[in-house]
Amino acid sequence: MKTFKNHKLTKLIGLAAIALALGLPAATASALVDTPWGPERTTFTWDNPAPYATFNSITDNPQLGDERNFVRIRDVASGEKFGDEVTLERGKTYEVYIYYHNNADAHDVGKTAIGIADGVAMKSSFPATVKKGERATVTGTIVAADTDPLEVWDGAYMMPSEDLYLRYIPGTAIIHNGGELNGQSIGPDYLFGDGAMLGYNIFSGLLPGCNEYAGYVTYQIFADAPDFEVTKSVISGSTEVSPGDEVTFKVRYENTGTMDQQNVVIRDTIPDGLTYIAGSAILYNNNFTDGKSVNDDLITKDGMNIGDYAGGSGWAEIIYRAKVSNDFGCGYIENTALISTTDGNKTASSTLTVTKDGCTPVPEEETCLTNPDLPGCQEIPNTGPLEITMASLIVLGIIGGGIYLWRTKRVVKTVEDKVIGKSTAKKDTPSKDTHTPQNNREAENHTPGEDNHTPSEKEE
């Protein structure tokens, strides 16, 4: 590199082509960013490469900067350049880039046994699920049988905007280099397993030193998020009915996520005041747009399995009839449907207003307790049982602390008085019939030690 200027130029042209294809910045020197790279190892420069086989240890690669930062990621649709961190959003595709370069000096040892890396393979990993607010990592590792160190690794960060599932997009793992392997697929079982062999013209695991034999692997992952919506409505007319009326309900399910949902189950709870009309259920969905009569399982405790639905496009509707009981007075009937999936459950309700001659139900007046979103309900801080309990504990703590401090000071004062010989006994007001001058004189003439006198509590 230092002596053969024409070869150095070839290397620069090769790197520029890689950078152009990848959308990498044409930086002359990039500091190592805070990514999970390793291990600590001897580093080299573009003009002073390694005297032995080692991977990704040059710190001033003209296009990549520090080669220890060799795993990058980008949002495909945005057209952004590869970087060290990306925000994950549902329904988007992300591309991972993993660079490899045997840094052995091409002119001294690059094509000798010392400089040729043997058994070179690449493996990568990423989490199947990511949680909102948690920093996830996609990693890349290059291993070999005779390099120093035997393996190097790096990673790029992913910040999910919500809880997501990540999945590899089949057929997207591709090797890019200047040899005959350029553009060929890499088996995901190897790449995400024990490692996929690398090479130049064939997947031999042999890579001589020099940028001529450097390359990179890319693959794509998709951010999935399961989600669905459930609605319930009355389609036979008004929700104001009378005893004896028939009502037609519709329950609609839509798969609004990016993942297929299998074995979706619908269950409708028929409340008091309504009677389900047997045989009235009709199922509509992507396959039965004209409707299909179904059994009455939707009102059983286990519900009805209505099949599988594709993410983003699957939908289903169940339409059935019910009758308002003849003996139902005026009031309200709330009818609720439950949709169950492997990704969770959701409910939807429809309320009937039942009236009859001389009786009109009066809706309950809404309060801040029943509807916190009412105007003015948010102006006063919510002081519930928890807040009251906490406030009470704080007040009791302050009172208890004050009493403890007062008693502590009193005990300390008593001890001090005893130490200096000062009496701490309370002085009672002498009464005429118990304390006479004679008694006082006897106390004054009493000699300590003449008997086994035990001090009274007052003398203590």
- The Cα-based distances of 351 to 68, 306, 322, 330 in angstroms read 63, 24, 13, 13
Q: Residue 447: what pLDDT?
A: 40
Q: Check whether the bond before 39 is cis (ω within 30° of 0).
A: yes
**Torsion sign, CA atoms 337, 343, 344, 347:** negative
Q: Residue 432: what pLDDT?
A: 41
Rounded Cα–Cα distance for residues 448 and 457 (Å): 17
460 residues of the chain, pLDDT tens digit each: 323 233 333 444 454 455 545 555 444 334 444 668 999 999 999 999 999 999 999 999 998 999 999 999 999 999 889 999 999 999 999 999 999 999 999 877 767 888 999 999 999 999 999 999 999 999 999 999 999 999 999 999 999 999 999 999 999 999 999 999 999 999 999 999 999 999 999 999 999 999 999 999 999 999 999 999 999 999 998 899 999 999 999 999 999 999 999 999 999 999 999 999 999 999 999 999 999 999 999 999 999 999 999 999 999 999 999 999 999 988 999 999 999 999 899 999 999 999 988 777 766 666 665 567 667 676 544 445 555 556 566 656 666 666 666 565 665 555 455 545 554 444 444 444 444 334 433 333 434 344 443 434 433 3
Q: Residue 358: what pLDDT?
A: 75
Q: Residue 454: what pLDDT?
A: 40
Q: What values do phi and psi take at 449, rounded to 5? A: 95, -5
> Tokens in use for 133?
């607010």
Q: What is the dihedral of CA 85, 88, 93, 97, to 10 degrees?
A: 20
End-to-end CA distance of the chain: 99
179-215 pLDDT, tens digit per residue, is 999 999 999 999 999 999 999 999 999 999 999 999 9
Q: Residue 392: what pLDDT?
A: 61
Q: Residue 86: what pLDDT?
A: 96
Q: Residue 106: what pLDDT?
A: 84
Which domains does the chain show, CATH number per domain?
5-224 (no CATH), 228-354 (2.60.40.740)
Parallel/antiparallel/unpaired status of strands 151-160 and 85-88: parallel
31-87 pLDDT, tens digit per residue, is 444 668 999 999 999 999 999 999 999 999 998 999 999 999 999 999 889 999 999
Where in 194-260 does DSSP place strands (E)?
196-197, 215-224, 228-234, 240-241, 246-255
Q: Residue 330: what pLDDT?
A: 87
What's the length of the chain? 460
> Tokens in use for 315?
């939908």
Burial class (CB in 10 A: 0-12, 13-18, 19+), 26: exposed
Q: Residue 113: what pLDDT?
A: 84
> Tokens in use for 157?
């960060």
What b/e readout covers 424-444, taking b as 16+ CB neighbours within 10 angstroms? eeeeeeeeeeeeeeeeeeeee
Rounded Cα–Cα distance for residues 437 and 204 (Å): 121
- The Cα-based distances of 456 to 236, 418, 439, 440 in angstroms read 96, 16, 16, 16
Radius of gyration of the chain (CA): 41
Rounded Cα–Cα distance for residues 349 and 337 (Å): 6
**Torsion sign, CA atoms 278, 284, 288, 289:** positive
Rounded Cα–Cα distance for residues 103 and 67 (Å): 10
CB-side exposure of 25: number of CA atoms within 13 Å?
12
Where in 310-398 does DSSP place strands (E)?
315-324, 331-341, 344-354
298 and 280 Cβ atoms separated by less than 8 Å = no
